[in-house]
A and B are shown apart, each in its own frame.
Chain A
């Protein structure tokens, strides 16, 4: 394919017209649609197979009109956008990106200063698609993240007013990610906590796989509505699959072969990283199927345990990252005890308690026996009720 010539996807032009003008062949377009369809079908398991889906999508996508997109970057690290830029796995992706680009985006746009503000105002006044990176800090009246003198929350609300759809890209935009982890000093929240009256598509991950972002966009462009979502507002096609179930190391998990350290023999053999704290069994993401950076690899394949970054509050809940279970600090000892240590201690304490108690029972019985005379006073022998007297009598 030739390098893209100048001239973006102009308004009024269909996507197909635009693509052919840009020198994309029908075959390349269908290949892209097929890949996206395969991506959607991965979890949705739609009937008819991905081929029919690809046809349908090609049909719909061909007729799509160029959307205006505002891509906000709030309290975040730009990692998500970095990831999205690496979606260049095929020219089509690049084109989609170029075209879905971007009336406004802090990182990639040419204008700056009041010119940039002007662009945002104009774009927000028209129907558009809103993508958000980064969390919204609500603490200190939003002073922790301001752009052009206004707080992130205000910018988001304004941009969302006329948006056709809102997509929260990345864990920050979903719920706040690292900055929302305990103790959450800036009061960071996700987009859906600020925009409560509209559905928000959460494209989860820290960062999300680029293809997940483009696929969601593609779906929206093709169908005009967001894809089916799971309970956390994440597109099911991507987040309906558990990493553990499609993991290339699953066989060694089933066989009970685990790497104990990063440098042991089993690690070199590529055995399961479960004992090294892999959170794959608790993480729903397409990493194991799509993989990262043009399908090159993903953490588990590369020998690093999954951190579970697509799950909510993973900094609070998936830590310690390199341990299978959270431990807790025993007060006073300063030792991090695991559940098993505490449990075993409880069992030892219970067995010890039983032993002490049975010993005490034996002692108490002995004492009771000693305290009690061998025979009680007998009235028929003239004894009084008091045992001392009986003792005297006997003597």
Chain B
């Protein structure tokens, strides 16, 4: 069940297994139910029946010669159908089970069973569409026979890919380079935070080092190496912003500043805050709120690198490059830089739960595989969904 309201156009029809009566086959029942639909119908149930029946038999063998639409009093519609090759004509009635039963006068046992079963279907959220077939005798009298019923349910619930795989198509979103950088950065940030915390507090180290060891040196070495690698990752990512051919990864993707994006940002924010329940706008890449958060975290990461290397520079102020960083140290004060560096780490650590949660939530609530896209690189898009950033995707 979706949290967000799905627009009218996205109604979803589920057909249960047809329940034939009087020794009929399911196939016949389904075909009869489809033939009972008015010609040129737009009703979703009719369309679902027709599409299901067309897999069983070529419906072009039949021709509709007349249709009596459903009347409120009678609660049944009757179609007159002729088989093209044999010229045989038949009437097909559809409606509530009891109405069709009333029309067909089957024996007591059939009637009882059909009514009971139709009631049972309703407890499962389905409703029974009764189908009756009437043959026309030569003298014009009609003989009706109860064929059975088909359980039908209409919802606005989205299907899952496991249920209806053909409703989805695959869109590659993230290049492998970007995914590698993402997971490398995750690893490095975890290492950096861990070693940073240990170095800063020295609490956990305590007691481990009885006598001589290089414990803190190893921590520092790990921290510095990870810092350099993170710098490399950052440089590659920044280069990718300008070199990547993937438009979701280029620099303009970082800044959702078009008016439409800003409106959507507001809407997504309201959706997240439970202020509105209509469906949020769909994006193949990031939605504007997501993107703003990610762009901000990029900035925070760069700040972490900058403050980190400004502190690192203290070991060699003579170096032509580190000299500039040391000047920055003197401008701000080394201790405040340390403080900032540590607070930035906490920003990351506070970001991670929210980030992971929202990704998982997007996967479970919207069911479009945004989470898996950072692993596999692509995501499944529901057919017919309009994406705000889909102009370059052809489906």
Contacts and interface: CB of A to CB of B under 8 A. Distances in A.
Interface of A: 230-232, 240, 242, 245, 251, 253-258, 260, 274-275, 279, 281-282, 284, 308, 311-313, 316-318, 324-326, 339-340, 342-344, 346-347, 349-351, 353-354, 357-358, 360-361, 364-365, 368-369, 372, 374-382, 394
A343 B345 contact: yes
Given A256-B205, A275-B202, A381 B327 contact: no
Nearest to A346: B350
B96 A382 contact: yes
Contacts of B303: none
Given A358-B361, A372-B155, A258 B200 contact: no
Given A339-B339, A340-B342, A342-B343, A382 B126 contact: no
A311 B217 CA distance: 25
11 contacts: A254-B214, A256-B216, A282-B334, A325-B338, A343-B346, A365-B365, A375-B127, A378-B152, A380-B46, A380-B95, A381-B127
B127 A344 contact: no
B75 A376 contact: no
Given A230-B317, A240-B317, A317-B336, A343 B155 contact: no
A281 B314 contact: yes
A78 B379 CA distance: 73
B156 A376 contact: yes
Contacts of A325: 200, 335, 338-339, 342
A326 B339 contact: yes
Given A317-B336, A343-B342, A382-B72, A374 B219 contact: no
Contact of B3 (A344, A361, A381): A361
Nearest to B43: A379
Nearest to B365: A361
Given A230-B317, A340-B346, A357-B272, 13 more contacts: A231-B317, A256-B202, A325-B338, A343-B342, A343-B343, A343-B345, A350-B351, A365-B365, A368-B3, A374-B125, A375-B125, A375-B153, A382-B95
A350 B353 contact: yes
A278 B72 CA distance: 89
B200 A382 contact: no
Given A317-B333, A379-B45, A382-B75, A343 B349 contact: yes
B330 A232 contact: yes
Nearest to B44: A379
Interface in B282-308: none
B208 interface: yes
Nearest to B73: A382
B354 interface: yes
A358 B353 CA distance: 12
Identify which of A316, A364, A376 gathers the most chain B CB atoms within 10 Å of its CB.
A376
Contacts of B154: 375-378
B156 A372 contact: yes
B51 to A, nearest CB: 15
A205 B216 CA distance: 29
B274 interface: yes
B357 interface: yes
A192 to B, nearest CB: 14
A365 B157 CA distance: 12
Contacts of A357: 272, 357
B129 interface: yes
B341 to A, nearest CB: 9
Identify which of A240, A343, A357, A368 gathers the most chain B CB atoms within 10 Å of its CB.
A343
B152 A380 contact: yes
Given A231-B323, A375-B126, A364 B277 contact: yes
B290 to A, nearest CB: 15
B45 A378 contact: yes
A50 B72 CA distance: 112
B170 interface: no
A347 B155 contact: no
Interface string B29-48: 00000000100000101100
A343 B46 contact: no
A282 B315 CA distance: 9
B162 interface: no
A347 B317 CA distance: 35
B200 A340 contact: yes
B11 A254 contact: no
A350 B354 contact: yes
Given A231-B317, A349-B350, A312 B45 contact: no
A60 to B, nearest CB: 25
A317 B127 CA distance: 75
B223 interface: no
A365 B1 contact: yes
A346 to B, nearest CB: 4
A354 B217 CA distance: 37
A44 to B, nearest CB: 10
A375 B155 contact: yes
B212 to A, nearest CB: 6
A381 B353 contact: no
A372 B354 contact: no
Given A232-B330, A255-B215, A378 B127 contact: yes
B184 to A, nearest CB: 23
Contacts of A365: 1-3, 365
Contact of A256 (B213, B277, B329): B213
A326 B337 CA distance: 10
A386 to B, nearest CB: 14
Nearest to B42: A379
Contacts of A339: 339, 342-343, 346
B46 to A, nearest CB: 7
Interface in B208-231: 208-209, 212-217, 219
4 cross-chain pairs, A with B, having the tightest CB-CB distances, nearest first: A343-B346, A317-B333, A374-B125, A282-B334
A285 B346 CA distance: 32
A256 B209 contact: yes
B193 to A, nearest CB: 10
Nearest to A385: B8
Contacts of B277: 364, 368
A394 B326 contact: no
Contact of A254 (B217, B315, B350): B217
A361 B362 CA distance: 11
A364 B276 CA distance: 11
Nearest to B122: A394
B95 A360 contact: no
B11 A376 contact: yes
B358 to A, nearest CB: 8
B94 interface: yes
A313 B333 contact: yes
A262 to B, nearest CB: 16
B3 A350 contact: no
Nearest to A349: B350
Interface string B187-209: 00000000001001110011011
